[in-house]
């Protein structure tokens, strides 16, 4: 059920429909779906698709540059950047193992290997969250990873204890040997292809990439289609399991419903798996060309619905020679230029990197992409400059929510230009302390020429891309939704995006904690000197004497009946301390 809910949160609209249908039509009162294995497989396939296309990125000593060149680093990224080179290389090796060798374990039937894969993925995503602001991406990957867990392991988290393993020692020995073989292969593969050696003189673990790019592409070509076969076998096994569970449902009509559901969802799962093979093999074009033409036709027929995608992020390492950064400058006289600081992206070298996740500041991200090429590759940048020259409040608030931090709050700048710098993290002092500045920068070239309102070059660029002023959409003045959104926007304007998101999170966490504490509070006892009135009919049945018994009233009632049978004739039944006092 946990995997089904995760699937509902992360899957496309077709999968939403499939899951809701299964919840409505499920014959089991506990919502234990007969088709849940198929949904679980699609979850694992989505998780595998997230990780698989990121492989080419790992072919370089990425972490040597990654921390300072990512879109929006965190303060922890500065400290991670100071780690010694041997540790950075070892971190790349660990990333290789977690993103290449471990994902195939998602489909093995051994639960402990799935748990190992789960904790490895969560560890990697947690480290990425600590050192970079990647909005919801890493959190969604962690949620997808929960499909690797079973109910027993989640029960251990909730304190339900572990179930006893049935079967003899032979049944437990075979999975254990298989797990040890997998761990041994992982260690052997890592040691061989990354040259792991212990330098006893320097007391450190050294590593190096012991294969070439050509060898890697050949290996990728060799494993892509076999991975497809493994996925297909795993899906067929899940479908057969679901079919067996549907056939075991009692009652003719419930069994008929279960079989119909199994047929519908198995067909949908096979269809989703089939069309996902096209984007899955994008990483290796020869394997993509070997797919049956009917698969390409099926994918092309539903491509507009975005049912399957290639999820690879940042497949090429950028900023190897330094982080390119665009710095905007404004002026009134074309002599004195003032830098325009953004809320999140690097600018002021003494400003610490922010923590904004899971919020994604779109403008700051787009500025990072714009710095990677010529300004003509980012037509929106000309429109952005034009709005700043006009003094548009909506655009200014994307740069700075706090008007006091915007240097041209009283009057829009007359002239604007942009400079291109290379930013790098500063190095730690000799004693290991952090210097006063977080960044150091070097001027490279002019990124955008000086422009002003009415500038012919600016007007030509806006007209070329259709970015000139357009008349606003006509809406009724009394429309409820636009007016409501406008009021909410006005009230939230002083707050930043991360502050709003985290306030929602903390409120939800506080409500959950209070509910949990309320559930743990002891129930009220009976009033002193009186009987406790049964609150429910079930309580009255369980405790017909009204003596205020603790949970397990049925058992207490049986004990009273035994005492009454054993009591001598004529002796009045005792009723606690009150009857004793009355007798005295």
Q: How far is CA 504 from the centre of its chain?
A: 17
Q: Are 492 and 504 in contact, with CB atoms under 8 Å apart?
A: no
Helices 252-280 and 36-51 pack at an angle, to 10 degrees, of: 10
Distance CA 578, CA 364 (A): 76
**Beta carbons within 8 Å of 381's beta carbon, 6+ residues apart:** 370, 375, 418, 448
Report the predicted TM-score, pTM, of the whole model to 2 decimal places: 0.75
Sheet holding 323-331, edge to edge: 338-339, 323-331, 415-425, 439-451
* Closest to 367 measured CA to CA, from 355, 378, 358: 378
- What single string gives the DSSP state of each residue in 137-189? HHHHHHHHHGGG--HHHHHHHTT--PPPPPS-HHHHHHHHHHHHHHHHHHHHH
Question: Among candidates 453, 468, 461, 456, which has minimal Cα distance to 415?
Answer: 453
Q: What is the pLDDT of residue 335?
A: 92
Q: Are 532 and 548 in contact (CB under 8 A)?
A: yes
Quick one: the chain helix, strand, coil %, rounded to 5?
Answer: 60, 5, 35
Element (DSSP H or E) covering residue 580 = helix 576-583
Exposure of 115 by Cβ count < 10 A (0-12 exposed, 13-18 middle, 19+ buried)? middle
Please give the pLDDT value at position 200.
85
The predicted pLDDT at position 22 comes to 39
Q: Residue 523 has what pLDDT?
A: 61
pLDDT in tens, the chain (584 residues): 333 333 333 333 333 333 333 333 333 333 344 445 556 666 666 666 666 555 545 444 567 888 999 899 999 999 999 998 888 888 888 988 898 889 888 888 888 999 999 999 999 999 999 999 988 888 888 988 888 888 788 878 877 766 655 666 777 788 889 999 999 999 998 888 888 888 888 888 888 776 777 887 888 888 888 888 888 888 888 888 888 988 898 889 999 998 998 998 889 888 988 998 998 888 788 888 999 999 999 999 998 888 887 766 666 667 778 899 999 999 999 999 999 999 999 999 999 999 998 999 999 999 999 999 999 999 999 999 999 999 999 899 999 998 899 999 999 999 999 999 999 999 998 887 888 999 999 999 999 999 999 999 999 999 998 888 776 666 666 678 878 888 888 888 788 889 989 898 899 999 989 988 887 777 665 555 555 554 444 444 444 444 444 444 444 555 555 555 555 555 555 444 444 444 44
Q: Measuring CA to CA, which residue among 553, 53, 8 is closest to residue 284?
A: 53
Q: Is 326 left (phi over 0), alpha (psi -120 to 50) or beta?
A: beta
Tokens at 524, concatenated: 């009220």
Count of CB atoms situated within 10 Å of the CB of 517: 9
Q: Report the candidate in 507, 332, 486 with the shortest Cα–Cα distance to residue 414.
A: 332
- Let me know: does 190 contact 38? Beta carbons within 8 Å: no
Q: Is the dihedral of CA 298, 299, 303, 307 positive or negative?
A: positive
Q: What is the pLDDT of residue 584?
A: 41
Q: Which helix (H) or strand (E) holds 145?
A: helix 137-145
Q: Are 365 and 356 in contact (CB under 8 A)?
A: no
The backbone torsions φ and ψ at residue 548, rounded to the nearest 5 degrees and listed phi first, read 70, 40
Count of CB atoms situated within 10 Å of the CB of 60: 16
Looking at the DSSP bridge assignments, the partners of residue 197 are: 206
The count of C-alpha atoms lying within 13 angstroms of the C-alpha of 316, restricted to the half-sphere facing its C-beta, is 4
3-state secondary structure 433-493: CCCCCCEEEEEEEEEEEEECCCCHHHHHHHHHCCCCCCCCCCCCCCCHHHHHHHHHHHHHC
Residue 326, beta-bridge partner list: 420
Q: What is the CA radius of gyration of the chain?
A: 32
- For 441, the token pair is 């920068």
| Amino acid 488: pLDDT | 85
Cβ atoms within 10 Å of 381's Cβ, excluding its own: 20
């Amino acid at each position: 059920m946990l995997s089904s809910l995760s699937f509902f949160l992360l899957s496309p609209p077709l999968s939403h429909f499939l899951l809701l249908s299964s919840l409505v039509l499920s014959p089991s009162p506990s919502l234990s779906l007969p088709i849940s294995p198929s949904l679980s497989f699609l979850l694992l396939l989505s998780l595998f698709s997230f990780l698989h296309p990121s492989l080419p990125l790992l072919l370089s000593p990425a972490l040597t540059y990654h921390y300072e060149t990512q879109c929006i680093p965190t303060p922890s990224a500065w400290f991670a950047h100071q780690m010694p080179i041997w540790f950075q290389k070892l971190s790349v090796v660990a990333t290789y193992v977690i993103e290449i060798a471990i994902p195939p374990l998602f489909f093995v039937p051994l639960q402990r290997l799935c748990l190992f894969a789960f904790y490895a993925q969560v560890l990697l995503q947690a480290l990425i969250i600590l050192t970079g602001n990647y909005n919801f991406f890493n959190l969604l990957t962690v949620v997808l990873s929960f499909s690797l867990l079973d109910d027993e392991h989640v029960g251990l988290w909730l304190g339900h204890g572990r179930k006893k393993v049935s079967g003899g020692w032979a049944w437990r020995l075979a999975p254990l040997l298989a797990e040890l073989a997998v761990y041994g292969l992982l260690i052997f593969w890592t040691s061989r292809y990354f040259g792991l050696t212990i330098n006893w003189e320097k007391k450190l673990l050294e590593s190096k990439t012991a294969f070439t790019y050509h060898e890697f592409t050949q290996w990728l070509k060799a494993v892509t289609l076999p991975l497809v076969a493994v996925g297909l076998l795993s899906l067929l096994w899940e479908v057969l399991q679901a079919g067996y569970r549907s056939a075991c449902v009692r009652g003719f009509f419930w069994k008929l419903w279960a079989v119909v559901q199994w047929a519908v969802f198995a067909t949908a799962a096979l269809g989703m798996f089939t069309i996902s093979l096209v984007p899955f093999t994008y990483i290796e074009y020869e394997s993509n060309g070997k797919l049956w033409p009917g698969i390409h036709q099926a994918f092309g027929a539903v491509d507009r619905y975005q049912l399957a995608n290639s999820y690879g992020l940042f497949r090429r390492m950028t900023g190897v020679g330094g982080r390119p950064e665009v710095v905007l400058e404004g002026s009134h006289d074309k002599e004195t230029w003032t830098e325009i600081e953004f809320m999140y992206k690097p600018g002021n070298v003494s400003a610490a990197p922010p923590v904004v996740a899971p919020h994604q500041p779109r403008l700051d991200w787009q500025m990072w992409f714009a710095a990677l090429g010529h300004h003509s590759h980012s037509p929106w940048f000309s429109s952005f400059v034009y709005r700043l020259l006009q003094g548009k409040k909506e655009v200014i608030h994307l740069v700075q929510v706090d008007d006091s931090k915007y240097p041209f709050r009283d009057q829009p700048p007359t002239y604007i230009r942009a400079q291109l710098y290379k930013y790098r993290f500063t190095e730690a002092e000799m004693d290991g302390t952090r210097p006063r500045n977080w960044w150091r920068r070097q001027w490279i070239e002019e990124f955008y020429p000086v422009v002003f309102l009415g500038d012919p070059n600016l007007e030509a660029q806006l007209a070329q891309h259709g970015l000139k002023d357009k008349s606003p959409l006509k809406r009724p003045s009394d429309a409820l939704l636009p007016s409501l959104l406008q009021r909410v926007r006005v009230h939230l304007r002083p707050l930043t995006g991360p502050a709003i998101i985290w306030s929602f999170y903390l409120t939800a966490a506080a409500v959950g904690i209070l509910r949990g504490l309320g559930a743990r509070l002891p129930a009220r006892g009976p009033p002193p000197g009186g009987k406790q009135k049964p609150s429910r009919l079930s309580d009255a049945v369980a405790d017909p004497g009204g003596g205020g018994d603790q949970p397990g009233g049925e058992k207490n009632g049986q004990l009273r009946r035994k005492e009454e049978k054993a009591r001598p004739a004529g002796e009045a039944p005792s009723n606690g301390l009150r009857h004793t006092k009355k007798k005295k």
